[in-house]
Amino acid sequence: METGVSGLQHEDVAVLLGFYKVPAARRTELLDLLRRGDQKGWWERQANLPSIWRAVIDFENKARRIQNYENMVVPGLLQTGEYAAAMLQGLDSTLSPVELDNLVASRIARQTLLTRSNAPQFLAVIHEAALRVPIGGAGVMVRQLRRLMELGEYRNISVRMLPTSAGATAGLRGPFMILEFAEEPALVYAENQDTAMFQEEEVDLAGYRLALRNILNVSLAPDATAEWLSATVAEMTA
């Protein structure tokens, strides 16, 4: 068990807790934690969920901090259901109604990690272009922007906008997500049209962290972003 060759068995742990004279209340708490640790997450039980989605959701649920830059779409953790549906259907018009519903439901379920008691810190940096592409139509976009304003008020969520006026930035190279963990090395997740991958080499992480710093240097602060979102909603509903 100490080397990780064998997993923790309920009976063995119970005996060890007794041997070490762990108080009964603490013993119950630890055994319950062990039982819950053996349970699969909802994303592992979900049928027909893309394998890369399973991996991303698994890492998100283990992360203590997530930093996500997106240049063409609203980050998945902040999308409304109708925005997600319009985006996914645009990406793959062959999806059946059932397949689309399952993917959207999975995306919405994924977002619950941001409101749980031990929610990670989440930074979303979104290029202005992504907030102006009318995915799903004007009504969908208005409700999506309002949702961003609402989520930006959460203590663990920070939403910042990279304005088009910033010109050429490191963000032109594409979207990425940096995931940091309490006891494990950080990871970077990046995807494009055909591929998606995780990177953990320190040289890669350093490059993405530098890119994020450069992007943040020319992005609006959270308060200014909220003002921009409010003004843009007013324009779209005028």
For the stretch 54-80, pLDDT in tens is 888 888 989 999 999 999 999 999 999
CATH number for the region 49-237 comes to: 3.30.870
Q: Which of 5-14, 41-50, 110-119, 180-189 shows the lowest per-residue confidence on average (mean pLDDT)? A: 41-50
In this structure, are residues 100 and 84 in contact, taking their beta carbons and an 8 Å threshold?
no
Q: Is the pLDDT of residue 42 over 50?
A: no
Percent of the chain at pLDDT > 70 equals 88
Domain with CATH 3.30.870 in the chain: 49-237
Token digits for 52? Answer: 């890369």
In this structure, are residues 187 and 198 in contact, taking their beta carbons and an 8 Å threshold?
yes
DSSP 18: H
Distance CA(25)–CA(77), nearest Å, equals 37
Angle at 135 between CA 226 and CA 86, to 5 degrees: 120
Q: What's the mean pLDDT in 199-208?
A: 93
Token digits for 150? Answer: 């609402």
User: In the structure, what pLDDT confidence band is assigned to residue 43 with cuts at 50, 70 and 90?
Assistant: very low
In this structure, are residues 230 and 149 in contact, taking their beta carbons and an 8 Å threshold?
yes
Q: What's the mean pLDDT in 10-35?
A: 74
For residue range 109-118, what is the model confidence (pLDDT) as tens digits? 889 899 888 9
